[in-house]
C-alpha cells in the first residue's frame, strides 16, 4: 500500500475496499428461516498474511460502521478509517505483525448486501422485503468471507459495541477457529432501556412522511426521521461529563437567547449537525434492520443454552468497559465476565477511565490502547512466533 506524503507514518496508508460475491450456488440460511442468494460483501485488509496464515485478526464494526477501519481511501482524503487510532504499524493492531480483515456487515449500506441492495427477483431495492437478520447471520457471512480468503484460523476476533457482540458470537459459533475474542464496550444482551432507545429510533424513521413503507428513493429520503434517530442515539454514545466539558451551556453563534425554537445552545447545534450529516451517508432501512438484530442478540438466554454454547469454547477473552459508558455500562461487561468465569473460560477484564462515554472505544486513550496491545502481543508470541 502506498503512502501519500500527507498521511501519518503510523497509518496503513491508502487502501481500497474490495468486494466478493458469496452464496451464489448455496443460498445463505438465515435464523428467521429465509435465505439470501447471492450475497455481496465489501471488505478491506491491512498488513500481510504470514506463511502459516495464523496471524489473522477479524475486526468487527459497530452499528453505523463500514469495512473502512483504517487508512485512507485516497491521497487527498483526510478522513481515515473508523479505528485509525488502533490499527496500523506500531499500534495495538500492529500491521507489522498482524493481517487485519474488516468487512461491512450483512444488512449494511456500505457495499454488503442489505435492504438498499437490488433484489434479484424484482430488479428493485429490497426495502422492507429484505429478511430480518441477526448477529449470528452476520457472523455466518463473515465466516464465508474468511473461508473464501483461504483462512482456517483467527488469532482474534475483535470489536466494540455491536462489534463486540459479533466477537462473542464468533467464539460461540466457531470455537475451533477462534483463538481469542476482544469484546470492547459491549453486552451479552440489550437491557430493556437499550431496546427502548432502539424502538423509539425506529419509530422516528417509520413515521417520517417520506418513508413510504421502506420504498423511498434518492429524491425523497426519510431524512428527518433518520436524523432524529441518530441525534437520540448519539446522546447515548456520550457521557454527561463529556458533554459538560465540551459544551456546557455555551450558546452557539449568539450572545443572547433567542426566546424561540432556534438552536440557542452549542449542544443543540452539534446534535443537529450529527443528524444532518448522518443522513448523507447511511440508509434508513439499514438502521431499522441493524438495531433489530441487536435487540435479538441474547446468546446466554438461559442456563442450559449458556452451558451448551460455551461447552466447546477455548478462546481467551479480553472484556473491557469504560466508566462513563451508560449505554453499555460496566455492569453489562461484568455480567459477561461472570458467565465466562462460571464456565471456567480464560477471561481478563479491565475497566478504563474516560470522560467520553460509549464512544471511548474509538478514541486515542493510552491505557486502553496499551492493554489491547499487550493482550495481542502475548498471543502473537505464543501462536505466531513460538507456534503454540
- Per the annotation, the verdict on 272 as an active-site residue is no
Give mean pLDDT, residues 131-158.
98
Quick one: pLDDT at residue 266?
85
Give mean pLDDT, residues 283-299.
98
Q: Is the pLDDT of residue 4 over 80?
A: no
For 18-189+301-385, which CATH superfamily applies? Answer: Alpha/Beta hydrolase fold, catalytic domain (3.40.50.1820)
Give mean pLDDT, residues 206-229.
96
Q: What's the Cα-to-Cα distance from 49 to each of 85, 181, 240, rounded to whole Å?
A: 21, 19, 43
- Per the annotation, the verdict on 325 as an active-site residue is yes
Taken as a whole, the chain contains a residue count of: 388
Q: Is the pLDDT of residue 148 over 60?
A: yes
| Torsion of Cα atoms, 57 then 60 then 65 then 71, to 10° | 0
Active-site hit among 61, 68, 356, 358: 358
Tell me how many degrees the CA angle 366-181-374 measures, rounded to the nearest 5. 35
Give mean pLDDT, residues 131-145.
98
- Predicted confidence (pLDDT) per residue in 73-103, tens digit: 986 667 899 999 999 999 999 999 999 999 9
Q: Which long-range contacts (CB under 8 A, 24 or more apart) does 267-276 make?
A: 267/243, 271/231, 271/234, 271/235, 272/227, 272/231, 274/230, 274/231, 274/234, 275/226, 275/227, 275/228, 275/230, 275/231, 275/234, 276/223, 276/227
d(C-alpha 325, C-alpha 354), whole Å: 9
CB atoms within 10 A of CB 388: 10
Give me the helices (H) in the chain, please. Answer: 135-148, 162-173, 192-206, 223-237, 240-246, 266-278, 284-296, 303-310, 330-342, 366-379
Quick one: pLDDT at residue 388?
58
Quick one: pLDDT at residue 386?
78
- Predicted confidence (pLDDT) per residue in 52-79, tens digit: 999 999 999 999 999 999 999 986 667 8
Quick one: pLDDT at residue 262?
82
Quick one: pLDDT at residue 1?
47
Q: Which percentage of the chain shows pLDDT scores above 90?
A: 86
- Predicted confidence (pLDDT) per residue in 307-323, tens digit: 999 999 999 999 999 99
d(C-alpha 379, C-alpha 385), whole Å: 9
Domain boundaries for CATH 1.10.1740.110 within the chain: 196-290
Quick one: pLDDT at residue 6?
79
Q: Which residue has the higher pLDDT, 271 or 160?
A: 160
* Residue among 4, 161, 11, 16 nearest 80 (CA): 11
**For the chain, how long is the longest CA-to-CA vector?**
69
Domain boundaries for CATH 3.40.50.1820 within the chain: 18-189+301-385
Q: Say yes or no: domain 196-290 is CATH 1.10.1740.110.
A: yes
* Residue among 177, 95, 181 nearest 143 (CA): 177
- Per the annotation, the verdict on 61 as an active-site residue is no
Q: Is the pLDDT of residue 161 over 70?
A: yes
- Predicted confidence (pLDDT) per residue in 319-358, tens digit: 999 999 999 999 999 999 999 999 999 999 999 999 999 9
d(C-alpha 386, C-alpha 384), whole Å: 6
Average model confidence (pLDDT) across the chain: 94
Active-site hit among 161, 181, 239, 321: 161
C-alpha grid cell for residue 90?
506500531
Quick one: pLDDT at residue 146?
98
Active-site hit among 208, 264, 283, 325: 325
Quick one: pLDDT at residue 218?
85
Interhelix angle for 192-206 vs 284-296, to 10°?
Answer: 160
Quick one: pLDDT at residue 75?
65
Quick one: pLDDT at residue 76?
65
d(C-alpha 175, C-alpha 371), whole Å: 24
C-alpha grid cell for residue 7?
498521511
Q: What's the Cα-to-Cα distance from 129 to each of 107, 108, 109, 267, rounded to whole Å?
A: 12, 15, 15, 37
Amino acid at each position: 500500500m502506498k503512502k501519500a506524503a500527507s498521511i501519518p507514518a503510523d497509518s496503513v496508508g491508502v487502501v481500497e475496499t474490495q468486494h466478493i460475491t458469496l452464496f451464489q450456488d448455496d443460498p445463505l440460511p438465515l435464523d428467521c428461516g429465509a435465505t439470501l442468494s447471492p450475497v455481496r460483501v465489501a471488505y478491506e485488509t491491512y498488513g500481510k498474511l504470514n506463511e502459516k496464515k495464523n496471524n489473522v485478526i477479524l475486526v468487527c464494526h459497530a452499528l453505523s460502521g463500514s469495512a473502512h477501519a483504517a487508512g485512507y481511501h485516497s491521497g487527498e482524503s483526510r478522513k481515515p478509517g473508523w479505528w485509525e487510532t488502533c490499527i496500523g504499524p506500531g499500534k495495538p493492531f500492529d500491521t507489522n505483525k498482524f493481517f487485519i480483515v474488516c468487512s461491512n456487515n450483512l444488512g449494511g449500506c456500505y457495499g454488503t448486501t442489505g435492504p438498499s441492495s437490488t433484489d434479484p427477483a424484482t430488479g428493485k431495492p429490497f426495502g422492507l422485503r429484505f429478511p430480518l437478520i441477526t448477529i449470528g447471520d452476520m457472523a455466518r457471512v463473515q465466516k464465508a468471507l474468511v473461508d473464501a480468503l483461504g483462512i482456517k484460523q483467527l488469532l482474534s476476533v475483535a470489536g466494540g459495541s455491536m462489534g463486540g457482540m459479533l466477537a462473542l458470537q464468533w467464539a460461540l459459533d466457531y470455537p475451533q477457529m477462534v483463538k481469542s475474542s476482544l469484546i470492547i464496550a459491549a453486552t451479552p444482551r440489550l437491557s430493556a432501556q437499550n431496546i427502548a432507545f432502539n424502538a423509539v429510533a425506529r419509530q422516528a424513521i417509520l413515521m417520517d412522511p417520506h418513508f413510504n413503507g421502506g420504498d423511498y428513493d434518492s429524491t425523497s429520503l426519510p431524512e428527518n426521521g433518520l436524523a432524529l434517530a441518530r441525534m437520540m442515539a448519539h446522546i447515548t454514545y456520550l457521557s454527561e461529563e463529556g458533554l459538560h466539558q465540551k459544551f456546557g451551556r455555551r450558546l452557539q453563534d449568539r450572545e443572547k437567547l433567542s426566546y424561540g425554537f432556534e438552536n440557542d445552545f452549542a449542544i443543540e447545534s452539534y446534535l443537529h449537525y450529527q443528524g444532518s450529516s448522518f443522513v448523507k451517508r447511511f440508509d434508513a432501512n439499514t438502521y431499522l434492520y441493524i438495531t433489530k438484530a441487536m435487540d435479538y442478540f441474547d446468546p446466554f438466554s438461559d442456563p442450559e443454552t449458556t452451558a451448551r454454547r460455551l461447552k466447546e469454547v477455548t478462546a481467551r477473552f479480553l472484556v473491557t468497559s469504560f466508566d462513563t459508558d451508560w449505554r453499555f455500562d460496566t455492569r453489562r461487561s461484568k455480567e459477561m465476565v461472570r458467565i465466562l468465569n462460571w464456565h471456567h473460560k480464560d477471561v481478563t477484564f479491565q475497566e478504563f477511565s474516560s470522560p467520553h462515554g460509549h464512544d471511548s472505544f474509538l478514541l486515542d486513550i493510552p491505557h486502553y490502547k496499551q492493554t489491547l496491545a499487550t493482550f495481542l502481543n502475548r498471543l502473537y508470541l505464543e501462536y505466531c512466533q513460538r507456534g503454540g
